[in-house]
Amino acid sequence: MHGGRKKAMKVLKGMMQERMADPERKCEDFFDHVIQELRREKPLLTETIALDLMFVLLFASFETTALALTLGVKLLTENPRVVDALTEEHEAIVRNREDPDAAVTWAEYKSMTFTAQVIMEIVRLANIVPGIFRKALQDVEIKGYTVPAGWGIMVCPPAVHLNPDIYEDPLAFNPWRWQDKPEITGGTKHFMAFGGGLRFCVGTDLTKVLMATFIHNLVTKYRWKTVKGGNIVRTPGLGFPDGFDIQLFPKN
C-alpha cells in the first residue's frame, strides 16, 4: 500500500473506532451516517468497505477540486486578459447587490456565464482523471476491431481534451472557445473531465459551485503574485512537485 494511503487509513480507522465507541454521538457528517449503517443489525457494508469508501470519497472530492483550483490560479496568473473579464463579471454582481458583503446567491451563480466557461476550460486542461476504467461485458465491435468480453478498457480523457481536431489550438487556455456552446451537463464523447454514463461524477455540480465561489472571492477581494513553484508534472496524474505558492493582497 502507498505510504500516504496507509497513514490516511490509520487516521480514518482511529476516527471510526472513536465514533463507534460513543453511542450518544449525533449524526453530523457523512462518516456518521456510514457508522450508523454499520451499527444496524444487517449492515449493507463491512468496516473494511466503509473505511475504503471514506478514503475514496476524500480522494475523489478534496484532491480533485484542490488540484483543479491550483491549476486554475496558475492559468489565470498567466492570462491576465481572462482575469480582467472575470473581474468585470464579478464586480458587476457585487455592484447589483444590496449588501456588497452578502454571500453568493444561486441566482448570482447561475448568472456567471463567463466564469462557467473558465471552469470548463480549467477542467479540460487539468485532466485530473487521466484514465477511466470499464470492463467489456460482451464482445464490442469498434471500427473493425473487437474488444473481447471480459477485457479491461482504459478510456483516456486527455486524448480527447487535447485533440486538435476537437479543440483548436488545444494547449491554449482559451475560455472563449466555450462561448455560445450549449452547456454540457453530462459527459459527451468530446468532453469527459467528469466521466460519463452511469458512473458520471456525482460531485460535478458541487465542484462547479465551489470553483465559481472561489473565483468570485479571488477576483473581487484580492490581487496576487506568484511566490514560488508552479512546475507541473504528469505521473500521469496532475502534480505540482514544488507546490505553487501565491501571495494575496487585499484589493484597494
Known binding residues for heme: 201
β-bridge partners, 239: 233
Shortest reach from residue 218's CB to ligand HEM, in Å: 17
Backbone torsion region of residue 208, taken as left when φ is above 0, otherwise alpha when ψ lies between -120 and 50, otherwise beta? alpha
54 is a contact residue toward ligand HEM (CB under 6 A): no
| Closest C-alpha to 212, from 104, 101, 127, 63 | 104
Peptide bond into 164 cis (omega under 30): no
65 is a contact residue toward ligand HEM (CB under 6 A): yes
Size of the site for ligand HEM (CB under 6 A): 19
| Closest C-alpha to 121, from 172, 45, 185 | 172
Sole window of 82-90, 125-133, 178-186, 226-234 interacting with ligand HEM (rule: CB under 6 A): 125-133
215 is a contact residue toward ligand HEM (CB under 6 A): no
Closest residue by beta carbon to ligand HEM: 203
Would you say 58 and 8 are in contact if contact means Cβ atoms under 8 Å apart? yes
68 is a contact residue toward ligand HEM (CB under 6 A): yes
Shortest reach from residue 214's CB to ligand HEM, in Å: 12
| Closest C-alpha to 129, from 63, 52, 57, 209 | 63
Shortest reach from residue 191's CB to ligand HEM, in Å: 11
Nearer to ligand HEM, 173 or 194 (CB): 194
Residues 4-43 that bind ligand HEM (CB under 6 A): none
Binding test (CB under 6 A) with ligand HEM, winner from 9, 58, 104, 132: 132
Q: Rounded to whole angstroms, how far apart are CA atoms 97 and 213?
A: 16
- What is the three-class DSSP state of 40? coil
Binding test (CB under 6 A) with ligand HEM, winner from 16, 75, 83, 129: 129
Shortest reach from residue 56's CB to ligand HEM, in Å: 7
Sole window of 27-35, 126-134, 136-144, 229-237 interacting with ligand HEM (rule: CB under 6 A): 126-134
Shortest reach from residue 203's CB to ligand HEM, in Å: 2
219 is a contact residue toward ligand HEM (CB under 6 A): no
Binding test (CB under 6 A) with ligand HEM, winner from 60, 147, 162, 232: 60
Q: Rounded to whole angstroms, how far apart are CA atoms 133 and 246?
A: 35
Residues 187-206 that bind ligand HEM (CB under 6 A): 193-195, 199, 201-203, 206
Neighbours of 191 (CB within 10 A): 20
Residue numbering of the annotated binding site? 201
Task: Judge residue 229's burial from the number of C-beta atoms within 10 Å of its C-beta, 0-12 exposed, 13-18 middle, 19 or more buried.
Answer: middle
Binding site for ligand HEM (CB under 6 A): 60-61, 64-65, 68, 123, 128-129, 132-133, 193-195, 199, 201-203, 206-207
